[in-house]
Structure 1
């Protein structure tokens, strides 16, 4: 069976450094940090008092008050980003076969704020179970793609992938395969997360996962730096319209890139720590290259998982050196989490958008906040430190890994007829 070609025809982003794709990309290239003191709640008693929140985002600019109350923030973000991507794609909803258009979305946690608030309200009451009737529909992780499909009348495959921080990349790989196999013409894919809450910050602090650089929040996310002390929690959404090539060509769609492959693997090692030798990461990148039918030497840039944790960054770079050998020194390696923080289940989508735009513009965004070299990291690797670098990018890889050992890797190629 000949597989269909899959192309990217629409992008949408809602991030801590930009509330649309253009703002997001300009901030990436400029090396702008999205980290600042928390405004959503009083963080005085928390170990970490900062995060990468959205800026100047007013939900009432996108929804009426009644509709907004029915949606957890993670679902609001999903709808906003997907609306931008669908508009960007130029899809005419009156002419497409909506049974062949689906939504496959990623979320690592889902409606955490809704769950937190409802349980607190119950605990503070007299024991009478007075819960909001929208409690469950707001909380469940699959409600985001459900709402997107309802909004646009899309009747194809519709579900959520949950694989912690690999969720959005998992969703995109599933979407790739549905289209490749001819089951769908278009899939809106991506991921969203809204875990900057008391429960989210407190939970990640309890497991010593977050940076506690409270004296300098804007420099706290510092992937590959010797003084890194944990990741910075972010929030937002990324949406990508994936489309079968002939379908896109027939309607005259603009094409950003070709989605050429995806790989999956498991560390099978530890609940939260990566394998120190990066064995699962080696496997996922090899699987992705094989799936895309390209050689390691074809890859020009890698947007790493690069969360700014002491163990994870070293393991990933070791794996890159193993997979790419001498060619690893020719690759522009970066971590956009240095600017956005870690968007958990949305990370794979927002970082794929950055990777795609690096091909469009011939610019690799920087890894900011690097001040001290880590002796455990090969100094010959080009980590795109502190300043964006101009170069031709024809093939770009993006890695995302999640608690539980979930690894996902995607590959995009500059589109040619």
Structure 2
């Protein structure tokens, strides 16, 4: 169908529309010509019997009826073959391509460099991206693929915008909201307020807030200010009235001594109705403030894989910490003296936040909380087997 594809791309170009081709690192057994070519030349990852490792393609629920082999990018010849397939797509008139997947490396597969799938899990993606990068101009993510003059700075700033767009692409069933987004999305469906809200919707009595073009509230608690100018490293931000705010972007620290979690230091609580000037916004920083007293559901920091996990490895399957919800309370304005809980969930007080967030088999998980007196932060973990309501009373 190559002539038809070329003609179709020509028609789109006449309308001023650019087109993309789709690539991933797998070859279907049903794509006989290319599959046999890879089979003959030994381009696939191998199984224990040194035969091509074939597995079910889990791209979407409609397509799960065929098997694929994964290109072995540690084999230089296989990489060159893959580059030719991409080059061929460009001769058909495509303006670029989407490069997908790479995270499904089976942990019990073997590459031509002698590594097994466990050690290749991250290295595979590196080799995959390197193979494509070597024969193309730098191409960005889903947002930037059609931009012909993409820089690292522009790509990063686009990704920062996407982080607070309220809707993220995942690798399960397409695109999805995260758990805390789902609740706000349901609320948005009922009252018409979007997840990302112009200050006019949240602070309609604050004239200065309404005038901000690149600042908005995300969900109910975050205040985001986007960087849209090239080479910009400082940003001014206006804090809406009648709220108290904490600067997360300047006061977050990486805890390398425990589990690799980012934590927020207790820092100055700022009153709304004022400008905060010259906040650092390098490429690693999203200018982000949050309302004092906000309750934020957290994702676990462990590395997960969509592949079935071998319990002897350090990989976690998505179902391992089943129904584990962690909640992080942004610092209180004053120290808390006591906590009491009412409802179906009974929480156990534990020594520190590390106990709250640690991963355990489901049978060993407990509903617990820890209060950091110095940072004025409460951490909770709950593992409800069914929907359960509970109430926390905090005595200041």
Normalising by structure 1, what TM-score? 0.27
Decide which structure has the larger Cα Rg and report it.
Answer: 2
Q: Which has the higher contact order (CA 8 A, sep 6+)?
A: 1
More strand per residue: 1 or 2?
2
